[in-house]
Structure 1
């Protein structure tokens, strides 16, 4: 999910035991997740014109290390993590970008969910309260990345929304529906070969 995205910073003062209790639902969701498939609607505010840019598509994840993020409208684009590389195929430009995951793992907004390493290794977790019938958590990167933070909304222990903050007024909001949890995803979904004639940029 490399579209422009993120959360504003927060401040938490609490005993370690209280923090552990407050973050347990997020940890439980991550620990028990094997695969996740859903449709999504993505919205991003365009500050200059006070308009909302909206996109729709599908999302598939197979842990660890495989993800597919397909935009179906308004323009078709495919983002695929095959376990070792990240591929971005823009059909309008007929261009494929490819990068080794090792080079860009920290810049993948869903890296905290995609890989097996403890989420606290790369993020500080801050409980962000309840709203819209969801329990929210703020993930703040421990090292510099292009986004400031990420918010995750859980309902009944399942991820329903992800908000990604590049700044306080540059926020990409993703809402999932028709969620299928731990039903498995075909390995073919994460296989990608650049179409013949497409311009390929990057490195393997």
Structure 2
């Protein structure tokens, strides 16, 4: 799996909002049951195993469950990731290259399963409530599949039930931290957002 795909998996566990009175696990389950579409902006910081910043970035995202999503990286480089319900398209503008993967293979037991997949999240993840730390409720999700690309993901919710922060620790020792803003729950999204056609002359690599 290349760097672009790893970044996508790290980010595909992004935004969750839920009931104010619930703990973090209940908030996540509420989100899965009641959120069909979602849109937000994100910032991303990648830390190496020593806690040093190796990359800063950000962009916008939107999804429509099940299996449709669109991620636009605006920095540090332009990249587009589109899930059309059957396949996932990774378009690297600078490399003029597209990688195509089957949705069921690419999602598997990854953060994407929590974002755009089945509401039965405990089938693929072990969930644990880490309790209140400061003013944030923390949840940890550990994938049950051994072939997962990450070790754990932690989600921090405000006491109002809105996702405040996410930390993902991958198998390479890196930690990806995301922050979210301008969250919209169940907005009307254009169907064209989840369609992609490779630009003419682009190098296409598929499974």
* Residue aligning to 2:151: 148
* Residue aligning to 2:194: 190
Structure 1 stretches lacking a partner, 5+ long: 7-19
Offset, 1:61: 1.1
* Residue aligning to 2:87: 85
Normalising by structure 1, we get a TM-score of: 0.84
Offset, 1:85: 0.4
Moved over 3 A (4+): 46-49
Change (3 A) 1:103 1:22: closer
Change (3 A) 1:134 1:48: closer
Normalising by structure 2, we get a TM-score of: 0.83
The CA distance in 2 between the partners of 1:56 and 1:87, in whole Å, is: 19
- 1:53-92 superposed matches below 5 A: 53-92=55-94
* Residue aligning to 2:167: 163
C-alpha root-mean-square deviation of aligned residues, in Å? 2.4
Q: 1:100 aligns with which of 88, 98, 102?
A: 102
The number of residue pairs the alignment matches comes to 190
The CA distance in 2 between the partners of 1:21 and 1:44, in whole Å, is: 27
Confirm whether residue 174 of structure 1 aligns to residue 150 of structure 2: no
Structure 2 stretches lacking a partner, 5+ long: 12-21
Tell which structure's C-alpha radius of gyration is larger.
Answer: 1
* Residue aligning to 2:14: none
The CA distance in 1 between the partners of 2:74 and 2:205, in whole Å, is: 22
